[in-house]
Amino acid sequence: MAVKSTSVLLLNLMIFTLYFVFALIVHLQVYNCMILSMDKNIKKDYFSADQKQMARFAKALGHPVRIAILELLDTQSCCYHGDMAEELPIAKSTLSQHLNELKDAGLIQGDITPPTVKYCINKENWLLAKKLFVSFLK
């Protein structure tokens, strides 16, 4: 019974988070379209480093599985790939792809000790992401 209620809670959190991320992505896309329509010859360095970094974080957060992974990692110091595979309702190969996307964005970090891989939130980049999004959404 506890597993079922945890699954329902996780599903509700994923839906809420997906709605938030979707709204953020739509907002970013509208903003980008406005900028692009102003000038077709935008210089490469027009966008600030913060804008580029926030867009990278938003892309990584753009899937409910990745949100669930971050929520899972936020509840503990670290977690092994195999433990996450048992917790989340997706294939191990799919989980690996999502973990790589989060790792490439710098939101998580992995410690490889064959045959296991342990992941945890990259606290420095997590704080940066919070700061950028709070500043953007104020």
Strand 79-80 versus strand 116-121 pairing type: antiparallel
Please tell me the CATH code under which domain 2-40+48-137 is placed.
1.10.10.10
Domain ranges of the chain: 2-40+48-137
Q: Contact 83/120 with Cβ under 8 angstroms?
A: no
**Per the structure block, which two tokens stand in for 49?**
């480093």
Question: What SS3 class is residue 54?
Answer: helix
User: Which whole-number Å values give the CA distances from 56 to 60, 73, 80, in the listed order?
Assistant: 6, 20, 25
Tell if the pTM clears 0.85, that is, is over it.
no
Share of the chain above pLDDT 70, in %: 69
pLDDT tens for each residue of 62-108: 999 999 999 999 999 899 999 999 999 999 999 999 999 999 999 99
- Residue 132 in this model has a pLDDT that exceeds 60: yes
Phi, psi of 121 (to 5 degrees): -70, 135
Per-residue pLDDT at 7: 64
Q: Name the band, by pLDDT with cuts 50, 70 and 90, for residue 9.
A: low
pLDDT at 115: 85
CB neighbour burial string for 66-99, b if at least 16 within 10 angstroms, e if fewer: bbbbbebbeeeeebebeebbebbebeeeebeebb
